[in-house]
A and B are shown apart, each in its own frame.
Chain A
Amino acid sequence: MMYSLLAVGSNAALVTFLLYTLAVFALAWLANKALAGKSFMSEYFLGSRNLGVWAFALTFAATSASGGTFTGFPAKIYTHGWVLALWIASYMVVPICTMGLIGKRVNQMARRAGAITVPDLLRDRFGSRTFGLLATVLIVYFMAFNLSVQFKSGSVILQTLLRDVPIFQDTTAALTSFGNAHADSWLVKQLTPQHGPVDWGYQICLILFGVAVIAYTTYGGFRAVVWTDVMQGIVMVAGVLIMLPLALYQVGGLGTATRELAQMTPPQNAILRLQLPENGGSVPKEAWFKSTDEPPRIFWSTHDAVADASSNVVELQCMEVTSPNELARIRDSHEFFSATIQNVELAAAPKFGANEPGHYVTAPGPSQTSESGFLPFGIAISFFFMWALSGTGQPQYMVRLMAFKDSQTLRRAILTVTFYFGVIYFPLVIIFCCARVLMPGLDHEADSVMPRMAVLLTTNAGHGWLAGLLVAAPFAAVMSTVDSFLLVVSSSLVRDVWQRNIDPDASEKTVKRLSYWTTVVVGGIALIGAVNPPQFLQDIIVYVGSGLAACFLIPVVVTLYWPRANTAGCIAGMLGGFCAHLSMHIWGMFTPGHSFAKPYELFGLSPVLIGLFGSLVATLAVTLMTRPLPDDIIRKYFGKEEPAAKTA
């Protein structure tokens, strides 16, 4: 069964995308108008510190809900089942932890320092340019990873959205012909991935997505990012709230879905030797095959394959359906490819849960790659730490905490985000547990489960036009994260590198021009990095989130609350967290069954906990061994005196 947007009618997807993009640009234009008559740096990078409840709450929530929320997270639910409820559980306290723990204090200190960025605040709090620069370098390092991955995510979603739009198909076909004709050219070689030909559809979407995000972020600055985040936050919650009842209705109720999941077993990798009706024939990806056994075995192809011109036999990578209840459903509801199965060679079996029903409804959940299952006990504890605490101190959230207008706004925003996360994350677990029952055979392309589910639900409900809106939800999630990261990086470079270290007396005109160009250049570099992006979206997102937490959480907390904290201790804490966290990933590269993206888990714990522990020990030890800061700095931040005079 194919899930294509063509099924929903003419150019509905393209119209949705164009309307959505127009709305984003309109908001950026309005935001640019708001720049007039205000301090450029403060307005462009911080919205003049006067965000109200809805703007602050939704920009915070939308920045948190990234491409991972609507691509990687649904993929994990689809692949591992109900255990994802435990994996994401600590989001129940994320708003009160990330916003409540440091929100008021960050805002107060940023106002006293006149700080516009996180490194700006750290530099002023300790009177150390070195510390500010170190923070900038780490931010740029981690954000560069994430920007490229998010660009990829946005492009993949856009490609799903536009896949069946005629003008998109024609352009892709024309570029494919061009690529084939110029296969030896430098450009085509650069665009060619390690395995397989250039995906021109992806490249078109990357440029469309990248140019749109870079343009509105550059033109409108922080306020444009916040206003578009508000719109995107509403789109996301609307998407989830529409999908939930549709999924529950179409699956026959949540109880039915869970009972079906309880009987399922993970699919088995296999290689089929197929005899096709004619020589040189081809087999598409996601085709279904039935053996002649009784009862028949069922497979689906995970890759395309083409037979030689002189042969009608082809070897094909597949997955075999192993659950009896799924076999019965697929036999009755799917069309099968016309080919004869000559031989079945079973490849690597799932390492945890093979041929054992019940793993999709219990922990640790089935796993193709880990013998301990998806979420062993130690990792469950680590994730409870990670989600709740990793956001605290991360620069993209801290910047938002510097921008709300008063403490009443903060209280109401925590309330709003608490409600928002409850409405987004737990329902996503329910929706994509239902997806496993409604759409078998997507284990090899689980990252695309969200848009496919949107199309399936709306088409079955007879409201295909809704698919465009539902697919806009993950698109909005990626956009709202990319724009925030882009601005964090460019603000760090302009404010903390140029203005603080190279040209402190730069005129507002120079700073303005520099800010625009830096945003364009940083976005352009990330776009180029996404031309051949890494494969594992969610793994990179986890690496960046946990790495930023390991580097920033402890130094930021002591910066805000511990008068004895000093420069040497915080630098040691930042570097200690960075090295401890990175060492687990490097260790993974040299350990069988692990890799950089699948790090070593010392004592069964996630690298974020090792990094936080390293950061804590280094901060405390070095702080206590070195001198405290001068009294005037302590009085400025922990006394009752008025804010300092303008420093820049």
Chain B
Amino acid sequence: MLWFLCLCWVVPYSVLYGYDRPAPGEEIPLVWGMPSWVFYGVALPWMSASAISIFMCLFVIKDDDLGLSPEEIEAAGNESPNS
């Protein structure tokens, strides 16, 4: 879902504003020193995607029991043979 949102932001924006070469004598608009289409079409969504990813890691993705592998079961059995 996040990937699709980013696709819908990055590609159309970059296609609309990044594929036009400035006319001779015309200055390319800059934001923070980079072409404005790079800032709004790549840098800003990158920052947003990172923020959303971090939010998902902290608050959305649930912790689950991953289970035990055979060697872990074996090791546990060796440690407590009576259990």
Contact = CB atoms under 8 A, between A and B. Distances in A.
A87 to B, nearest CB: 10
A418 B70 contact: no
A380 B15 contact: yes
Given A96-B2, A97-B3, A108 B66 contact: yes
Contact of A93 (B3, B33, B65): B3
B48 to A, nearest CB: 8
Contacts of A49: 69, 72
Contacts of A104: 64, 66
A108 B63 CA distance: 12
Interface in B1-59: 2-3, 6-7, 10-11, 14-15, 18-22, 24, 27-28, 30, 32-35, 37-38, 41-43, 45-47, 49-50, 53-54, 56-58
Nearest to B20: A362
Contact of B19 (A42, A107, A362): A362
Interface stretch (A21-29, A227-235, A574-582, A640-648): A640-648
A89 B72 CA distance: 40
Interface of B is mostly: helix
A624 interface: no
Given A89-B10, A384-B10, A388-B3, A411 B57 contact: yes
A647 B73 CA distance: 13
A48 interface: yes
A381 B74 CA distance: 49
B45 to A, nearest CB: 6
B64 A418 contact: no
A422 B24 CA distance: 34
Contacts of B81: none
A358 B57 contact: no
A434 to B, nearest CB: 10
Contacts of A362: 18-22, 28, 35, 37
Contact of B74 (A100, A359, A646): A646
Given A258-B30, A377-B19, A361 B35 contact: yes
A259 B61 CA distance: 43
B71 to A, nearest CB: 5
Interface stretch (A249-257, A455-463, A559-567): A249-257
A414 B57 contact: yes
Contacts of A357: 24
Given A254-B33, A377-B19, A415-B58, A93 B69 contact: no
A562 B54 CA distance: 28
B49 A647 contact: no
B41 A359 contact: no
Nearest to A42: B71
Interface in A181-229: none
Given A85-B38, A255-B33, A362-B18, A381 B11 contact: yes
A406 interface: yes
A92 B6 contact: yes
Contacts of B41: 86, 89
A325 to B, nearest CB: 14
A92 B45 contact: yes
A221 to B, nearest CB: 15
A93 B21 contact: no
Contacts of B72: 49, 111
Interface in A238-275: 253-259, 262
A95 interface: yes
Given A86-B18, A406-B66, A643-B67, A257 B73 contact: no
A82 interface: yes
Given A108-B64, A407-B63, A262 B22 contact: yes
A412 interface: yes
B33 A257 contact: yes
B14 A82 contact: no
A490 to B, nearest CB: 20
Instruction: Find the residue from A258, A262, A363, A642 having the highest chain B CB count within 10 A.
Output: A363
Nearest to B68: A643
Which of B32, B50, B66, B72 is most buried by chain A, counting CB atoms within 10 A of its CB? B66
A430 to B, nearest CB: 7
A95 B11 contact: no
A644 B7 CA distance: 41
Contact of B42 (A85, A359, A644): A85
B50 A646 contact: no
A20 interface: no
Contacts of B3: 90, 93, 96-97, 388-389
Contacts of B24: 357
B70 A85 contact: no
Interface string A30-63: 0000000001001000001100000000000000
A412 B71 contact: no
Contact of A86 (B14, B33, B67): B14
A49 B20 CA distance: 51
A262 B83 CA distance: 73
Interface in A560-613: none
A647 B74 CA distance: 12
Contacts of B30: 255, 258-259
The residue among A85, A95, A380 with the most chain B CB atoms within 10 A of its own CB is A85
23 contacts: A39-B71, A86-B41, A93-B53, A97-B3, A104-B66, A114-B71, A254-B33, A257-B33, A359-B21, A361-B28, A361-B35, A362-B18, A362-B28, A363-B37, A377-B19, A384-B6, A389-B3, A407-B62, A407-B63, A411-B63, A419-B54, A422-B50, A426-B42
Can you list the 10 inter-chain pairs with the closest CB atoms, starting with the nearest? A254-B33, A646-B70, A114-B70, A255-B33, A92-B49, A358-B21, A92-B46, A111-B69, A415-B57, A363-B18
Given A110-B69, A358-B21, A643-B70, 19 more contacts: A49-B69, A85-B38, A85-B42, A86-B18, A86-B42, A89-B10, A89-B14, A89-B41, A100-B56, A108-B64, A111-B68, A357-B24, A362-B22, A377-B15, A380-B11, A407-B64, A414-B56, A415-B53, A643-B69
